Amino acid sequence: MAGTQIPKPVWYTDEDDTTWARVKAAFRRDWQQTKHDFGSDVPDLNQQMSDTVAQATGSKAIPPENSVTPHAVKTQKSASDTYRDEDEPAYRYGYSAYRHFAAEDAGETDSWDERQTDLQREWDDKNEWDRRSEAVRRGWKYGYLERFRNLPR
C-alpha cells in the first residue's frame, strides 16, 4: 500500500490524526489476537472485540505490546474483526469522516448509508475505493461506537 494517501477534505483536522493514533493501536492489538486465533505463532493477548472498542474510544487503557488483556472470558472472533496494515489509511478516513459528519448530523444516527456516496466521491479513485470501502466502513463504525464512551452508565 506504499504511496496510498487518504483524501484530506476541508473538514479533516490534526485532531483526527491524534485520535486516530489511539484507534490504530487498538486495531493492532485486535489484529495480533486474530493472528493468534488463526494459529499464528504470536502471543495470546486475550483481546476481545469489546476490549478493542473500549481501547479505541479511550475508556480503557491500551496494555503494553504483547501484554495480556485482563478479563475472564474469551470469545471467538469473526473474520470481519481483522485489521490489515495496508488498510490503515482507509480506516483513518472512515473514522475521521464519521467524527466530522456526526457533528454535522448532531450524532443522531449512524448515517453510513446516507454518506457512503459522498465519501466514495471524495476518495476519488474508484478502483481503490472498491478495494478499501469495507475498511472505510469499519473505521466509520468505530467512530460511531466512540460516541457512546461518555454516556452516563
What domain count does the chain have? 1
Average pLDDT over the chain, rounded to an integer: 76
Residue among 152, 132, 147, 151 nearest 19 (CA): 147
Question: Is 43 among the domain residues?
Answer: yes
pLDDT (tens digit per residue) in 107-150: 566 678 888 988 999 888 888 898 889 888 888 888 887 766 55
User: Which segment, 9-18, 67-76, 130-139, is predicted with the most confidence on average?
Assistant: 130-139
Tell me if 123 sits within 8 A of 136, measured CB to CB: yes
Domain that holds residue 22: 14-56+80-146
Question: Is 131 among the domain residues?
Answer: yes
DSSP 8-state assignment for residue 42: S
DSSP 8-state assignment for residue 120: H
Question: Is 66 among the domain residues?
Answer: no
Tell me if 94 sits within 8 A of 143, measured CB to CB: yes
In whole angstroms, give the CA distance from residue 63 to residue 47: 10
Residue among 72, 71, 79 nearest 30 (CA): 79
Higher-pLDDT residue of 148, 16? 16
Question: Is 5 among the domain residues?
Answer: no
Please give the pLDDT value at position 120.
Answer: 92
Count other C-beta atoms under 10 Å from residue 37's C-beta. 18
